[in-house]
Amino acid sequence: MSEDSFTETTSTGWFSRIGGAIKGIFVGMIMVVIAFPVLFWNEGRAVKTRKDLNEGAKDFVQVSADTVDPANDGKLVHLSGAAETPVELADEALGIRTKALVLKRKVEMYQWKQSTDTKTKKKLGGSEEKTITYNYTKTWSEGRIDSSNFKKPAGHENPSLPVTSSSWTASPVTVGAFTLSKDLVSKLNDYQPLTVAETTELPEKIAEREVKLSGGQIYLAKDTANPVVGDVRISYQQVEPSVVSLISKQKGSSFEPFTGSKGTTINMIQTGEHSAEAMFERAQESNKMMSWILRLVGFVLMFMGFSLIFKPLSVVADVLPIAGTIVGVGTGIVAFLLAAPLSLATISIAWIFYRPLIGIPLLLAAAVGIFFLVKKVIAYKKAQA
């Protein structure tokens, strides 16, 4: 792995920093405003999804993959069976053929990659010195990194790719008497490596580049052991025919997404034999995880927004760097103490709307948090008086 770097140092004056911080107030206000509907919407989404999954777990019909029963048309069904296809998938450009449900070609190029290391130092008087070190490393990376966006593109140019990543999906894919929809097939992600056999008839050249085979992968390179910028490495993955389990709406001898009474789409498929109960349980766990992720997103959005709103205070205090650091820590704490109860209050209000028995205690907890925050602020002002 080869690497080189260069360092750039810039200085920003105190007045420029104050101007930037004042502009940041408006960005922060927008972030805080956006955080409220994100948190509220997420709770509604979570409740509706949970209810639709619960309804689906009660109302689904267990069917056999061997025969299609017209009486189940339009109903949510669960079945397990062997997913198969009569067709052979092929990458015609390189002569790769396999009996698979999905075939994926991954193209990597040995190329320059830019990374940065930034260090900021506050100076007496409120100015700020920023030192950025740009590191350039040669590495294998999928696709082409646009070197024209590098800080120093000269000497780090990445050439164009003679071939790109791609994928192929078999059609039809059947499970017994049923044919899977394209949407369900696209959800299959149990990829296994496909080793290119030595007996594969590869083209001699692609875009005037010599084609070689090494370690089950295809190279467009002179020396596979010692790559140079522009060399290409191609590997394959496939989803093999296997037993699958699915929950979807039966439509004739195929399937389409089922929409619950609350608007949630149910259209699940997993590799292997799984009971409907296990699949619904997994979907509920995914729903819970997504709920917590979006709650964290909403809280972080609100916290960052308040941090930007209070940023001018620390910049003003940066005339004496240690004072600016202390004020920055203080405003960060205040931003957290505002974001936490306000996020909790928003979630609580959403739960009162969607789940009142849980939402009301949460709202009370948020109110207590805000009360103690206001009490602390009043006590601090009195101490300063």
CB 267 within 8 A of CB 255: yes
Residue in 166, 167, 163, 175 with CA at minimum distance from that of residue 102: 167
Residue 119 exposure: Cα atoms within 13 Å on the Cβ side: 7
Q: What is the 3-state secondary structure (H, E, C) of the chain?
A: CCEEEEEEEEEECHHHHHHHHHHHHHHHHHHHHHHHHHHHHHHHHHHHHHHHHHHHHHHCEECCCCCCCHHHCCCEEEEEEEEECCCCEEECCCCEEECCCEEEEEEEEEEEEEEEEEEEEECCCCCEEEEEEEEEEEEEEECCCCHHHCCCCCCCCCCCCCCCCEEEECCCCEECCEECCHHHHHCCCCCEEECCCCCCCCCCEECCEEEEEECCEEEECCCCCCCCCCCEEEEEEEECCEEEEEEEEEECCEEECEECCCCCEECEEEECCCCHHHHHHHHHHHHHHHHHHHHHHHHHHHHHHHHHHHHHHHHHHCCCHHHHHHHHHHHHHHHHHHHHHHHHHHHHHHHHHHCHHHHHHHHHHHHHHHHHHHHHHHHHHHHHC
108 falls in which pLDDT band (50, 70, 90)? Answer: very high
Crossing angle for the helix pair 321-354 and 356-384, nearest 10 degrees? 150
Q: Are residues 144 and 222 in the same domain?
A: yes
The answer to whether position 281 is within a domain reads: no
Q: Are residues 265 and 376 in the same domain?
A: no
Task: For 23-37, give one letter per residue: b (16+ CB within 10 A) or e.
Answer: ebeeebeebbeebbe
Q: Are residues 229 and 183 in the same domain?
A: yes
Of 247, 273, 299, at which residue does a domain stop? 273
Q: Are residues 333 and 195 in the same domain?
A: no
Q: Are residues 73 and 34 in the same domain?
A: no
Q: Are residues 165 and 222 in the same domain?
A: yes
Q: What is the pLDDT of residues 39-96, one digit of tens each?
A: 999 999 999 999 999 999 999 999 999 999 999 999 999 999 999 999 999 999 999 9
- The CA-CA-CA angle for residues 72, 75, 80, to 5°, reads 75
Could you give the number of structural domains in the chain?
Answer: 2
What pLDDT score was predicted for residue 345?
84
Residue in 382, 384, 293, 369 with CA at minimum distance from that of residue 338: 369
The token pair that represents 73 in the structure block: 């048309």
CB 134 within 8 A of CB 156: no
Q: What is the pLDDT of residues 305-350, one digit of tens each?
A: 999 999 999 888 888 878 888 888 999 999 999 999 899 888 888 8
Q: What is the pLDDT of residues 263-292, one digit of tens each?
A: 999 999 999 999 999 999 999 999 999 999
**Placement of tokens 């007496």 in the chain:** 124
In sequence order, what are the residues at sequence separation of 6 or more whose Cβ sits closer than 8 angstroms to the Cβ of residue 356?
none
Which residues form the domain of 192? 61-273
- What spatial distance separates the first Cα and last Cα of the chain, rounded to whole Å? 62
Residues 184-196, mean pLDDT to the nearest whole number: 95
Of 213, 247, 273, at which residue does a domain stop? 273
In this predicted structure, the answer to whether residue 257 has a pLDDT above a threshold of 80 is yes
Q: What is the pLDDT of residues 44-53, one digit of tens each?
A: 999 999 999 9
Dihedrals phi, psi of 297, to nearest 5 degrees: -60, -45
What pLDDT score was predicted for residue 1?
42
What pLDDT score was predicted for residue 2?
47
Q: Are residues 47 and 65 in the same domain?
A: no
The answer to whether position 195 is within a domain reads: yes
9 bridge partner residues: 131
The answer to whether position 309 is within a domain reads: yes
Q: Are residues 157 and 303 in the same domain?
A: no
Q: Are residues 157 and 194 in the same domain?
A: yes
Q: What is the CA radius of gyration of the chain?
A: 29
Of 224, 250, 273, at which residue does a domain stop? 273
Mean pLDDT of the chain: 91
The answer to whether position 202 is within a domain reads: yes
In this predicted structure, the answer to whether residue 376 has a pLDDT above a threshold of 90 is no
CB 79 within 8 A of CB 111: no
0.75 surpassed by pTM:
yes
The answer to whether position 278 is within a domain reads: no
- The CA-CA-CA angle for residues 273, 278, 284, to 5°, reads 135
Q: State the Cα–Cα distance between residues 159 and 137, nearest whole angstrom.
A: 15
Q: Are residues 366 and 221 in the same domain?
A: no
The answer to whether position 5 is within a domain reads: no
Q: Are residues 237 and 262 in the same domain?
A: yes
The answer to whether position 279 is within a domain reads: no
Q: Are residues 148 and 253 in the same domain?
A: yes
The answer to whether position 135 is within a domain reads: yes
Instruction: Name the percent of the chain lying above pLDDT 70.
Output: 92
